A and B are shown apart, each in its own frame.
Chain A
Amino acid sequence: MNYLKLLIVDDDQRMRESCSMLLETLKIKLPWLEDEYRFQITETGTAEEAKSLIESQKTDILLLDQHLPGIQGTDLLEYISSQEIDIQTVMITGNATLDTAVSAARNGANEILAKPFTPEELRTAVTKAAKFLILQRIVSKLDEERKKTRFEFIRVLSHELKSPLAAVTGYMNIIKNRTLGDDLGTYIPSIERSILRLEGMKRLISDMLDLTRIESGVKVRNICEHVISEIVADMVEGIRTQASERKISVTTEIPDFKISVDRVDIEIILTNLLTNAVKYNKDGGSIKLTAHKIGRALKIQCLDSGIGMTEEEVSRLFQEFTRIRNEQTKNILGNGLGLSILKKVVSLYDGEVSVSSKYGEGTEFTVILPGIIN
């Protein structure tokens, strides 16, 4: 149970007591929030005392009579708004003219309650103010979280962009200083690594754009019918050189059927599955890619005989910029965005992606795209 601090300010003691009695049992519930809210009630007869109570007890909701001895209710409202105190006010007015309502609202009252009012009217006004306050606090908390997430994303992104720059600058310094002697040939591996890191950086920038484009919904999708085996053949051709350099065999098992998709989406999915299967494979290993119809859904499976992952590594796999870092992966380049992009693309089709892996033995990714086969 959560409590909101409610302060009743009225010079009429009987009025204070009856309001307090009516609100003591009131519970506030928002449909999608598990928690219920009730009130901790304090009372006072003057605006002067109310002012010091607001400061000392952090009042959430103020039930405020307009006419008070000494400082008036509207003056207290003015003070609250000038101090930017986070408080919701229900203003009780003696006569419900438009003028009083406007003046109370202008001074920051959130609800106006004209005397005489029924118990139900009081509860409704206080409930409205409380709900508004709860929502306002949730929104500001979400906004804080959004800012933090954004900062964290940019911090990690800038680290990922600085790393290749640092690596290339390091090699350039070695070449400039002739650290390995005067024979230019000895610097070729440093130059090759520099080129590789720069290519990786370029890929990171395009992956970032892909990811944000998908997330923002700006990407226009062009859904057409394609023969799946033809797309797969093209994609497999694309990684053939990479695979054969490490003597990795690639086999496919794909019956001829048509799917309705944006070709670019399927290419992103297949490229990510295949390049990971090559990168994280063992020399002389194998990759098997299959695609089948299950009703109107397409099921793609990519099985490799690679280094595999532990359960803990699998659990972190789809987080942005996550790369599985261990003794076996330290020389494998990547930016940790590939699977995040794959997952986002799969979600565009309300699909699913799952992974099963055995450390040291290999990994199998399964992608299911529903409703794309007519």
Chain B
Amino acid sequence: MTTAPKKVFLVDDDADIIAQNKMVLEAKGFIVEDAASAKEAGEKIGSFKPDVIILDVMMEHPRAGLEFAGKIATEKGMPKIPIILLTSDGHNPAWLSEPNFTWVKIAQVLDKPVTPEKLVDTINKILK
């Protein structure tokens, strides 16, 4: 029995990070959609209905990604989708313990740059 391909939503304001993660994930058979800001992500998430989100933190403002993750975790009617944070601040995610963000549900934090193997592995483990 074949299963339907999984959908990954890439949210990052760096066009190159989007481009290369798209190459890696499409080569592995995922369906990929992208957004360059938390605002754009909010507009697209409803129609795309992703299985997992790869989310940058510093976008239109330094906490834009976290706020988007918080919205998903708390807002009524928002689909509950696992989030992988992909950030160059990943080695020191001190902000995750800040009182404002303790309610953010993050499946995993990955440090930028991430190798293709690690990215695909992490997504597969979370979607299992």
Contacts and interface: CB of A to CB of B under 8 A. Distances in A.
A257 B19 CA distance: 49
Q: Which of B19, B62, B113, B116 has the most CB of A within 10 A?
A: B113
Interface in A114-155: none
Contacts of A219: none
Nearest to B115: A173
Given A167-B17, A171-B16, A162 B112 contact: yes
B47 to A, nearest CB: 16
Contacts of A156: 62
B27 A330 contact: no
A173 B21 CA distance: 11
A166 B27 contact: no
A166 B58 CA distance: 14
B18 to A, nearest CB: 8
A170 B113 contact: yes
Contact of A170 (B13, B20, B117): B20
Contacts of A170: 16-17, 20-21, 113-114
Given A327-B37, A330-B15, 16 more contacts: A162-B112, A163-B112, A165-B113, A166-B17, A166-B112, A170-B20, A170-B21, A173-B20, A173-B116, A177-B116, A177-B117, A179-B24, A179-B116, A180-B27, A325-B59, A330-B13
28 contacts: A156-B62, A159-B58, A159-B88, A162-B88, A163-B112, A166-B17, A166-B112, A166-B113, A167-B16, A167-B20, A167-B113, A169-B113, A170-B17, A170-B20, A173-B20, A173-B115, A177-B117, A180-B23, A193-B19, A197-B16, A325-B37, A325-B60, A326-B37, A326-B60, A327-B37, A330-B36, A330-B37, A331-B15
Interface of A: 156, 159, 162-163, 165-167, 169-171, 173-174, 177, 179-180, 190, 193, 197, 325-327, 330-331
